[in-house]
Amino acid sequence: MNTSMKTLQALGQSIWIDNISREMLMKKQLQHYIDDYAVTGLTSNPTIFEHAIGRGSFYDDAIKNAARHGEPVEDLFFTLALQDLTAAADLFRPIHDETEGIDGWVSLEVSPLLVDDSAKTVAAAAWLHAAGDRENLYIKIPGTVAGAKAIEESIFAGVPINVTLLFSREQYLASAEAYMRAIERRIEAGRDPRVSSVASLFVSRWDVAVKDQVPLDLRNRLGIAIAQQTYKAYRELLSSARWRKLERAGARPQRLLWASTGTKDESASDVLYIEALAAPDTINTIPDKTLKAFAEHGTVGAAMALGGGDCESVIARFERAGVDCTRLAERLQRDGAAAFSDSWRKLLASIEAKMPHREASP
């Protein structure tokens, strides 16, 4: 195992791969990441599957075979995705068992077209988790206003949830509130409080959004400052009387996960966000390219400060430079949801195009 990966693991941070494809499974690349890179989990999203299915041939035979049975395109996608993710979940199951359910997870997202419909999201999450039939399968739900309702109801129903598309401390706290309410309701109902969840904060998209609006000395600093601010809130929540009460009842923390951690600025370090986000009791989900770069030349310094370090002063500098962080967080979440919806439509069109005797939808 790589030394830098060992250091992160010893620090208390889990490393997950932000990718899945049938090619990774067939060529045993995922097993290689587990064995040699200390990868202990995996995330997926519509864009990842759109690239995997639309730009390769590894799914073509499965699509043709399923098409003969007249399966709707969206149902066919979930059949393909669950085949991949259940295979991945089985690879991670020993880790899941060894860590008593803390680690070893894979994630599948509900249709992003349901982003504003809580009831349909709850139904989709329940169906997907049952269809996957794996203890270590998270269902991803966006942390929007509608999503918060779906998160609470899904957790209350016992479905493990990965809250996605979070961009700020406030959005994170809303997802944590939904999680805790659901656990409190389960305890009141006499149910097992151990329903797992993670909250995924997207980091690098902040820096992409403001790169042309701020001085050079502020480039690539906002995403990390927002992460530090959110980490402080996370640690404060875990120390709160409310959480301690739930913990005594057997509940487990909703772990904070760093998402979107590949460097987008070619002039910056290709391991910028991995080194900066080394924090105990968190997860970093990393693209393949960034994972390999960190294994080659990444270093781990001091762990992220529990109190957020200088995040407030850094964020204040961005505000003085004209960046309204509250409004930008809302915009980034809307844009992220729209991007996933666009990838979803492209994904379904690419599947349809591979079906025999069918043409892709416009």
Model pLDDT for residues 17-47, shown as the tens digit of each residue? 999 999 999 999 999 999 999 999 999 999 9
Supply the pLDDT for residue 113.
Answer: 97
Supply the pLDDT for residue 24.
Answer: 97
Supply the pLDDT for residue 46.
Answer: 94
Q: How far apart are CA 60 and CA 285, in angstroms?
A: 28
Supply the pLDDT for residue 360.
Answer: 45
Q: 47: burial class by Cβ within 10 Å (0-12, 13-18, 19+)?
A: middle
CB 165 within 8 A of CB 143: yes
Q: How far apart are CA 148 and CA 359, in angstroms?
A: 37
Which strand (E) or helix (H) includes residue 286? strand 282-286
Supply the pLDDT for residue 3.
Answer: 82
Residues 6+ apart with CB under 8 A from 144: 115, 116, 165, 333, 337
Supply the pLDDT for residue 71.
Answer: 84
Supply the pLDDT for residue 304.
Answer: 96
Supply the pLDDT for residue 1.
Answer: 61
Supply the pLDDT for residue 362.
Answer: 45
- What is the pTM (predicted TM-score) of this model? 0.96
Q: How far apart are CA 297 and CA 292, in angstroms?
A: 9
Marked catalytic residue, from 28, 140, 232, 245: 140
Q: How far apart are CA 293 and CA 11, in angstroms?
A: 20
Model pLDDT for residues 56-94, shown as the tens digit of each residue? 899 999 998 887 778 899 999 999 999 999 999 999 999
DSSP class of residue 220 equals T
Q: Report the b/e string of 190-214 with b at 16+ CB within 10 A.
A: eeebebbbbbbbbbbbbbebbeeeb
Tell me if the domain spanning 3-354 has CATH number 3.20.20.70: yes
**Does 354 qualify as catalytic in the annotation?**
no
Q: How far apart are CA 258 and CA 105, in angstroms?
A: 15
Residues pairing with 139 in the sheet: 108, 161
| Parts of the chain with a pLDDT under 50 | 358-362
- Given its phi and psi angles, is residue 281 left (phi above 0), alpha (psi -120 to 50 degrees) or beta? left
